[in-house]
Amino acid sequence: MNLLDKYRSVRKRTEDICKPLQKEDYVVQPVVDVSPPKWHIGHTTWFFETFILKEHASNYKEYDENYNYVFNSYYETVGARVIRTDRGNLSRPTVDDIYAYRKYVDDAMPLLLENVQNPALDEVILLGLNHEEQHQELLLTDIKYILGNNPLFPAYDPSVATSSVGNGNAEMVNMPAGIYEIGFTGEGFCFDNELNRHKVYLQDYQISDELVTNGEYLEFIAAGGYTDFRYWHAEGWDWVKTNNITAPEYWYNINNKWQHYTYAGLKEVDEKDILNHISFYEASAYAAWKGLRLPTEFEWEAAAAKFIWGKRWEWTESAYLPYPGFTKAPGAIGEYNGKFMVNQKVLRGGSEVTSPGHSRVTYRNFFHPQLRWQYTGIRLAQ
């Protein structure tokens, strides 16, 4: 696929994801980590306007200068105006306004791509498309949060599959000690945090070829896992107590039956499904209760050819840190990854709502350890 076709395809998929939404669903921000869908629509557009059209398209006219601080990650005050601008408080620009902005930018891109031959430009466009694919996954998880925390439990779209039956037959894969090569290599796109490929020495270890299922996790709940501090990090235990955590996100015990919110509405929890929507603290406590542990991101990457992955983002023990030789790109693009490299945990794999072809074996996702609204799961190691 050429770059323009790829551009059109990715941009269209974002809009397809939003098709089942009502306008009102585009607006709200029930918690700080969840952005309003209309913000995602505008922000991904702002990326192409700011880093590509305004920098490379000679006659390009900025759509609206105010959009810069509405869709930038950093809101700035203008003059002496001090304005509350939390994303979920902004009714304007409207959804229609933002789609018009989106169309305006999309209309300007083909002309640029036809007229400018520039490998550096292609690279930024590719970054923009991968950036948009990341926001596609966030769109799907944010929409789930918005609808799944609404007391009416409205369905989004039953056709988005997010359950997967495990094979119920997990086995430990043996991995010998030695030096392994870690990090991206070869052609194609990768993020800067996957570079540089480098040697890592691993002790011998074992890693499961299956993810933990709902049924296995229900045993942990039944055994009092949420009430025994010995399995938890000190900060995890505080989190459990402060938030009265007793089950994964979206799980409700109604009349002694566990139900959970899905894209098709409230459904009974299937014990054979792969577990989902748990925090790092819960993943780690579950592993401790089993007498096992989570793998490091290096152990995961070294063994990834030995098991099937891609259903859940898998919590690892590893903190999100720079690889040897990591350097930030100059300018705003350089803010992409490096500045988040503290207090977050690496997740590996991908999920059922990850954009097709977006992840790879060297891909590093990262979230704070208490967060649960992504499709997070558990793979055990020892």
Of residues 265, 322, 336, 361, which one binds a copy of itself by CB under 8 A? Answer: 322
Piece in contact with a copy of itself (CB under 8 A), picked from 39-47, 143-151, 162-170, 349-357: 143-151
Between 55 and 335, name the residue whose CB sits nearer to a copy of itself.
Answer: 335
Report DSSP letters for 39-52, one per residue.
Answer: HHHHHHHHHHIIII
Helix residue ranges per DSSP H, the chain: 3-18, 37-48, 54-56, 67-71, 95-115, 119-148, 214-222, 234-243, 280-289, 297-303
Residues in 67-106 at the binding interface with a copy of itself, rule: CB under 8 A: 69-70, 75, 78-86, 88-95
Q: How far is the CB of 54 from a copy of itself (least distance, A)?
A: 20
Residues in 4-63 at the binding interface with a copy of itself, rule: CB under 8 A: 22-31, 38
Piece in contact with a copy of itself (CB under 8 A), picked from 4-12, 234-242, 304-312, 347-355: 234-242
Piece in contact with a copy of itself (CB under 8 A), picked from 105-113, 117-125, 219-227, 246-254: 246-254
Token pair 């996100």: residue: 249
Pseudo-torsion of CA 65, 70, 75, 80, nearest 10°?
Answer: 60
Site string for a copy of itself, 199-218 (x = CB under 8 A): xxx-x-x-------------
- Residues binding a copy of itself: what is the number (CB under 8 A)? 79
Of residues 111, 161, 179, 329, which one binds a copy of itself by CB under 8 A? Answer: 179
147 contacts a copy of itself (rule: CB under 8 A): yes
Of residues 114, 117, 151, 188, which one binds a copy of itself by CB under 8 A? Answer: 151
- Alpha-carbon span 309 to 348, nearest angstrom: 9
319 contacts a copy of itself (rule: CB under 8 A): yes
342 contacts a copy of itself (rule: CB under 8 A): yes
Closest CA to 165 of 274, 264, 293: 274
Q: How far is the CB of 248 from a copy of itself (least distance, A)?
A: 13
- Alpha-carbon span 106 to 169, nearest angstrom: 48
Between 274 and 346, name the residue whose CB sits nearer to a copy of itself.
Answer: 346
SS3 at position 367? strand
Between 310 and 325, name the residue whose CB sits nearer to a copy of itself.
Answer: 325
174 contacts a copy of itself (rule: CB under 8 A): no
- Alpha-carbon span 298 to 197, nearest angstrom: 12
Between 128 and 148, name the residue whose CB sits nearer to a copy of itself.
Answer: 148
Q: How far is the CB of 214 from a copy of itself (least distance, A)?
A: 17
Of residues 254, 305, 356, 357, which one binds a copy of itself by CB under 8 A? Answer: 254
Q: How far is the CB of 362 from a copy of itself (least distance, A)?
A: 17
Q: How far is the CB of 249 from a copy of itself (least distance, A)?
A: 11
Between 167 and 243, name the residue whose CB sits nearer to a copy of itself.
Answer: 243
Q: How far is the CB of 243 from a copy of itself (least distance, A)?
A: 10
369 contacts a copy of itself (rule: CB under 8 A): yes
Q: Would you put residue 92 in left (φ > 0), alpha (ψ -120 to 50) or beta?
A: beta
Closest CA to 316 of 293, 338, 289: 293
Order of all β-strands in the sheet with 257-262: 251-254, 257-262, 265-268
280 contacts a copy of itself (rule: CB under 8 A): yes
146 contacts a copy of itself (rule: CB under 8 A): yes
Token pair 């693009």: residue: 333
176 contacts a copy of itself (rule: CB under 8 A): no
253 contacts a copy of itself (rule: CB under 8 A): yes
- Alpha-carbon span 109 to 8, nearest angstrom: 10
**Residue 34, Cβ density class (10 Å: 0-12 exposed, 13-18 middle, ≥19 buried):** buried
Host H or E run for residue 179: strand 178-182
- Cβ contact 101:93 at 8 Å: yes
- Alpha-carbon span 379 to 238, nearest angstrom: 24
Q: How far is the CB of 112 from a copy of itself (least distance, A)?
A: 27
